[in-house]
Amino acid sequence: MEIKFLQEELLKILHQLSKLRRKGWKSNQGNYEKTLSIHEPTKFIEEEVIIMRQGGKQERKIIRRPLDEDENIEEGEQLLEDLGEERLVDNDLSLTSSKWKKNNDGNYEQSLGVEPSQYITEEVLQVNNETGMMERKLVRKPYLGGKVQEGDSLNEVDKNGNKVLSRKIESNLQPKASKQQWQNVGKQEEIILNSEEPEQFIEEEIIQINPKTGKLERKIVRKPLNNEEIDNLQIGQNLEEDLG
């Protein structure tokens, strides 16, 4: 009975060894090893590329390809050569990583996801419900086509009661690294430019002497209006006050 059990175990081991050999595994000093590549580059060119898709979408990928010894490349984060970024990296890529796939050209690529090819970017003033302060934000959402009113001095009020100061349509060609400051908020992305924005300004036209040139300068100066200043504020076009 014991001999039969040992025979069965031996057959299992031989069967497993046979499967390993068929898959490319070889015995080496008691260990089994498998050669994945016999011509391995010391460095790669890593490129962030954008591939246009249908329906106003685009796919962002990172592609790694071997660096030829006589190849000259331009590294940078704003190349706009139909790709977002290009850099040299060491050969530290694990071929067993599930993130990297071999493409038809024999290079390795990693998909960063499908995203809009264009955005509508707006500068808005919005009241923060927690602090009660006015916030200035950049807000962007996917552009789905159709007519959009663009401009730098819109002064619109949207359906949420926010003041829309400007609006423009922008292409989504920035490298991934430069997009990190955008925060996902619902179906849009935001950047807070100022978390404490005054609701009103005092705007003054002043004349002062430039100490370097000795000549008079005419300026328009804006400063936040405090609620305490409203009652004592004198408004007019011919004040001739001494501002010191």
Measured CA to CA, the distance from residue 31 to residue 107 in angstroms comes to 30
Sheet with strand 188-197: strands edge to edge: 156-157, 163-171, 118-127, 134-142, 188-197, 183-185
pTM confidence score? 0.57
Joined together, the tokens standing for residue 37 give 């590549």
Measured CA to CA, the distance from residue 59 to residue 115 in angstroms comes to 6
Q: Which residues pair with 63 in a beta bridge?
A: 47, 109
Q: Which residues pair with 57 in a beta bridge?
A: 116
Q: What is the pLDDT of residue 23?
A: 59
Q: What is the pLDDT of residue 124?
A: 92
Q: Give the 3-state secondary structure of residue 48.
A: strand
Q: What is the pLDDT of residue 244?
A: 44
Joined together, the tokens standing for residue 122 give 């707006």
Share of the chain above pLDDT 70, in %: 64
Q: What is the pLDDT of residue 182?
A: 80
Q: What is the pLDDT of residue 147?
A: 92
Pairing of strands 57-66, 108-116: antiparallel
Hey, what amino acid is at 193? L
What is the chain's pLDDT, residue by residue, as a tens digit (244 residues)? Answer: 555 555 556 556 555 656 656 556 676 776 767 666 667 777 888 888 888 888 888 888 888 888 776 665 555 544 544 455 677 776 766 666 667 888 888 887 888 888 898 999 999 998 888 888 889 999 999 998 899 999 998 889 988 888 999 999 998 887 766 665 788 888 888 888 888 777 777 888 888 888 888 888 888 888 777 766 665 666 656 556 554 4
Q: What is the pLDDT of residue 84?
A: 52
Joined together, the tokens standing for residue 227 give 């609620």
Q: What is the pLDDT of residue 65?
A: 82
Q: What is the pLDDT of residue 243?
A: 47
